[in-house]
Structure 1
Amino acid sequence: MRRSRLVVFVSSVLLAAGSALTGSAAAQAAETAAVSYVALGDSYSSGVGAGSYISSSGDCKRSTRAYPYLWAAANSPSSFSFTACSGARTDDVLAGQLGPLNSSTGLVSISVGGNDAGFADVMTTCVLQSDSACIDRINTAKAYVDTTLPGKLDNVYNAISTRAPSARVVVLGYPRFYKLGTSCLGLSETKRAAINGASDHLNSAIARRAAAHGFVFGDVRPTFTGHEICSGSSWLHSVNWFNIGESYHPTAPGQSGGYLPVLNSND
């Protein structure tokens, strides 16, 4: 092949490849834009602790810094319904959050289960009472997670599948709260380890039920590693006596750096 023809040939191949890649990226962007997105769940999805709350959301405390809002702002879906609410349990999701779901829904995200298992009471007990009282309360929560929570999650997941049969459903888990083995004011190492173990126990139960329904489990523990309480670079509030409801919830960096990348990698 003469040099001039070779140059033309190679240029044509590169141009075609570039067009294919550009077309693929454009198609992917168009596909994302066409997605109807519904964000369900509890305070970890509504964005409690991140600030910048949407006034119309009232006590649900939906934040413009929460991962669902950030994802929608970056991807411009065809529609975005943000119904996650602070304090929500599985029954609350069933009763008040599923309205926007329909056959056209393409993406659903949800975090739920922590409040059912008594998250707030566990943390209150562990902050105010002894190591043994903390561990006893955690064991009670674990028993609930083993015996009752799976059925509660099944009810929610079945309802999502029924209402939005074509949707990709991403179930987001919960971070570990503490970096262990460090010098840190506050709870004892015994309590911190037990609380982390409880988070792992809850995540395992949620992941099993999500998989059973064909949903994706988004594990946020890896992204939060190095950003736990006592890490020196925490993405979680410790006890906040000025706004107690934000205690043990992700900060704005926790939403953008801990939760959003997990949704992005699984959407």
Structure 2
Amino acid sequence: MSLSLKLPRRTLSAGAALLVAAAGAVSAAPATAAPPPSVPAASSTPHVSYVNLGDSYAAGWGADAPAASVNPDAGWSNCLVGGRPDEVTQLSELKNVSLAGDFACTGATVGTNATGRPTIAEEIAAASAARKLTTTTNLITVSAGGNDIDFGMIIGVCARGTLGDCQQAAAAALHKAQQIDVAGTVEAIHAAAKHAVVAWVGYPHLFAANGGGVMSPAAAAVFNQGTDALNTELARLVKEAGRTEGVRTQYVDVTPNFSGHEIGSADSWFNLSFTDPQLEPFNFHPTAEGYLEGYYPAMASQISFARPAF
């Protein structure tokens, strides 16, 4: 996703100011974060050729804030990725797993949008044209859906509006989530890589129960429940698409890994600043610690690395 929210400074409590400082400290040196140990089970499987697709959470946005660059694999000027390392680079370092192509773009959506950002369908087409997504591809990871329901807008409503406004925004988002074309995405991937496992990665809770100084505790509860609703819908759609298209699909749940590390917790794994223009574009995205200790273990433990029979 690509989320940026500017809130009046008066909305930040003293505790929130400390949180901002802590978040900045985490993001200042993400490259030194110790990567989690590899998963032994993956080391004994045949070679896996891996392609990554998706939005900012797949693109490592915030892993080395404020670093950002054009994705070299995709090549589009509006396809930005964050700093590395992140869950994608760490996953590719597992024995017998190699990253054939990384086509994730910050701001990517499943459906078309008015922002001009690439869609997942365009990422698939680019990967296929580059011969990175082929019949020899074994694994594709996808993180998408958050931009389709406009996570950033919902954060703004829940932070500045009434609780009723927040609830209405969350309800509208659930309706949008039900319309996300997961089946079409899986079908397009399968057309180019018919032997691959498609692993769709969900989203973490962003806020601790206290709201992290961004929104009220009640609004934070509504927002997190909305995240759960999106994840549940994505899991359902992914399973249904796999059954309909005859594709091996999996949904990867990352929420438990971020428990105790949400914005507002004593050990947040998210970027958050309302005072530094360089850091603000990375707000509400994981730090390197979040990607390496939250996303990576969930993906490495839940994704099937067994090579399908050809």
Same fold (TM over 0.5): yes
| Aligned residue number for residue 86 of structure 2 | 66
144, 158, 168: which one pairs with 1:126? 158
Alignment partner of 1:246 is 2:282: yes
Which of structure 1's runs of 4+ aligned residues deviate more than 4 A? none
Counterpart check, 1:227 vs 2:241: no
TM-score (structure 2 length as normaliser): 0.70
2:214 to 163, 168, 186: 186
Name the SS of the counterpart of 1:55 in structure 2: strand
How far apart, CA to CA, are the structure 2 residues paired with 1:187 and 1:112? Answer: 25
Deviation at 1:263, TM superposition (A): 1.3
Gaps in structure 2 of 5+ consecutive residues: 1-39, 72-76, 112-118, 243-247, 306-310
- Please say if residues 236 and 248 of structure 1, whose CA atoms lie closer than 8 Å, have aligned partners that are also in contact: yes
**Deviation sequence 1:115-159 (CA, Å, 0-9, x none):** 00111111122223332222222221112113x12xx11111111
Aligned residues between the structures:
237
CA deviation vs aligned residue, 1:181-216 (integer Å, no higher than 9, x gap): x48533101110010011000000110111121411
Q: Could you say which residue in structure 2 is the equivalent of 1:55? A: 69
> Which has the larger helix fraction?
1
Does the CA contact (< 8 Å) of 1:62 and 1:84 recur in 2? Answer: no
Equivalent-residue separation in structure 2 for 1:204 and 1:133 (angstroms) = 22
User: What is the aligned-residue RMSD (CA, Å)?
Assistant: 2.3
Tell me the distance in 2 between the aligned counterparts of 1:122 and 1:241.
21
Other-structure match for 1:264: 300
Tell me the CA shift for residue 66 of structure 1. Answer: 2.0
Structure having greater relative contact order (Cα 8 Å, sep ≥ 6): 2
Q: Is the 8 A contact 1:218 1:263 kept in 2?
A: yes
Q: Distance in 1 between matches of 2:161 and 2:42?
A: 52
Q: Matched residues in 2 for 1:54 and 1:105: separation?
A: 28
CA, structure 1 residues 30+140, in 2 after alignment: closer, same or farther (shift >3 Å)?
same
Q: Deviations over 1:93-123 (max 9, x none)?
A: 1023442311000111111011001111111
- Map 1:1-267 → 2, pairs under 5 A: 29=43, 31=45, 34-51=47-64, 53=67, 55-57=69-71, 59-75=79-95, 77-91=97-111, 92-98=119-125, 99=127, 100-146=132-178, 148-149=179-180, 152-180=181-209, 182=210, 184-212=212-240, 213=242, 214-242=248-276, 243-265=279-301, 266=303, 267=305
**Long gaps (5+) in structure 1:** 1-24
Are residues 245 and 97 of structure 1, via their aligned partners in 2, closer, same or farther at CA, if it must alter by over 3 Å? farther
Distance 1:30 1:79, change over 3 A: farther
Query: How many angstroms does 1:79 deviate by?
Result: 4.5
**Partners of 2:211 and 2:217 within 8 A in 1:** no
SS of alignment partner, residue 64 of structure 1: coil
TM-score by length of 1: 0.81
Q: Which residue of 1 aligns with 2:24?
A: none
